[in-house]
Chain A
Amino acid sequence: MNDTIGITALVPPELMYACGKRPLDVNNVVPVSSSSPSNKLCAWTAIWRDMILNGGLDIDSLVVVAGGDCHNALVDGQKAELSGMPTHYFFYPFDGDTDYLRSQLEKLVRFLGGIQDERMFSLISDLKAKGRALDELRVNDRARGSDVFSALISFSDLAGNPDIFGKTLDSVPRTDIRYSSRVALIGVPPIYPDFHETAEGFGLHVVYDELPYEFLRLGGSSLDSLASSYRDYSFAGPLKNRVRLIQDELLRRRVDGVIHYTQYACHHTLEDEIFRQHLDYPILTVQGDLPRPSTEQLKLRLEAFAEMLGVMS
């Protein structure tokens, strides 16, 4: 069986599959975890770190996305490395330098043992096109935001098997939906496993999930094209680029309001002010800490936001 490589954030999955490896986004196990890790800042990194240290994650090695993304991951990834896990560090360029990113991709390919199957590039490119079509369905009120989110969030590792994942995409229910307001969800994904369902319970239709859309937006079929696409990974680059991208999507998706999810002890929380200055929409900021079903505090905020968008506007 192919080696399974843990990834801590977005690492071009087409390249990993082309190298004959199976990526496993270690974040995907976090929302369903019930652990309360000690020595934690952000629960996302603390939980996958503990799982690696306790042998609870079935991975052969780890790629830590450090540069341009998350310093908590950089530290917790090193703890995994010190425990004996073969670990590689992948850095995005803050300034979008294509050559730099290409050299990072080359190093990654060396760590993964070289490209073995170039067909994976087109296979995954087709899946991403399918993902974008699915994303459009919810924009056009033909699919539930919760169903689409569950599918799109898995584009970071294609659930470990592109063929089966393709079938999962086909099986996402197509259904006309009713709602009171259209909202965008920006920031890191919520650690609450039922966030989208909870929002839907209050009539909020999530028509944009910022991070999963990055998974779909970027791609390529060679080191050059991957480098010139992934250099735009918005979470790793300057905020002004990210704001511009969000503004375009909010307009295109005709949203009524924006929910900014923040994670306790995550530096992205500091971005809230900037979004409030530059996004001309009602904004609700919520924060999560440990992975648990939606709390009453979260429900009150979502319900009040739905009322604000519906009744008060």
Chain B
Amino acid sequence: MNIGLDVGSTTAKIVHVEEREVIFSKVVPSHHWTELIDDGQDDRCIVSTGYFRKKVPHCAAITEITAASLGARYHNPETQVIIDIGGQDTKVIDLRSNTFVINDKCSAGTGAFLELAAHYFDIPVGSLGRLHSLATKGAQLNNTCGVFAISEMISQLVSGYSMEEVIYGLHQAFALKISQMVPSADTVMLIGGTVRNTGIIDAINNVLDSKIEVPGAPQLVNALGAALYRERLDDGR
């Protein structure tokens, strides 16, 4: 059995893979990561990834870039580009050229931006997608800085836009910000916990010309990739 453990900034995930099939997975808040491996079996080889990859038990630690590449290819070997929207950063990986870019300077294209907006509206971040779907148009957000975007959203509410329209516009601005990092491609796969927000998928679909794919459990792709990396270790690669 191959085990991948992804301990990121917000959540920790584990995936068990046997004969290239996922047989178990679990997600907990990051600081509870020990719960994922406290089943008394200390002699296993775990491949770790994520921010805390070197802080957790592992026989190999790989970056999220490599983990995402392996995990995305498992779902679709033809995928050309991956967009991994994390809590603190967003990574775009071009599998055709083995290149990647990471945005970790500006919060506007990361999960933290959506958290900030949800916090302002005092709603769970998980409800942003549903509210987005209730709007037929959006308020246009001009500010690409996460903090200033919030003050712009407040002005939009004052000028009469509904909360749903402001959220729609927020997702659109988020997608535009990310699209600046994305090369032109036929197929783009979205991964990371943030893409469980269907508003983000809709907005990215509107902004990019590519065919957008979202795997069944987008937040588990990196843990899955880490588990699959184990096969390469066994190959001696």
Taking beta carbons and an 8 Å cutoff, which residues of A are in contact with B?
A: 282-285, 297, 300-301, 303-305, 307-309, 311-313
Contact = CB atoms under 8 A, between A and B. Distances in A.
B88 to A, nearest CB: 10
Interface in B77-107: 95, 97-102, 104
A297 B99 contact: no
Interface in B209-237: 229, 232, 237
Given A297-B102, A297-B104, A301-B102, A307 B97 contact: no
Contacts of A282: 97-99
A309 B63 CA distance: 13
B102 A308 contact: no
Nearest to B100: A304
B63 A304 contact: yes
Contacts of B102: 297, 300-301
A300 B63 CA distance: 7
A38 to B, nearest CB: 20
B69 interface: yes
Contacts of B114: none
B112 interface: no
A308 B101 CA distance: 13
A283 B65 contact: no
Interface pairs A-B: 3 shortest CB-CB: A304-B65, A304-B63, A307-B66
11 contacts: A282-B97, A282-B99, A283-B99, A285-B101, A297-B102, A300-B63, A304-B64, A305-B100, A308-B66, A308-B99, A311-B229
B99 A284 contact: yes
A311 B232 contact: yes
Given A297-B102, A297-B104, A301-B102, A311 B97 contact: no
Contacts of A309: 98
A308 B82 CA distance: 14
B56 interface: no
A297 B69 CA distance: 19
Contact of B63 (A285, A303, A313): A303
Contacts of A283: 99
Contacts of B99: 282-284, 308
B104 A308 contact: no
Nearest to B229: A311
A312 B97 contact: no
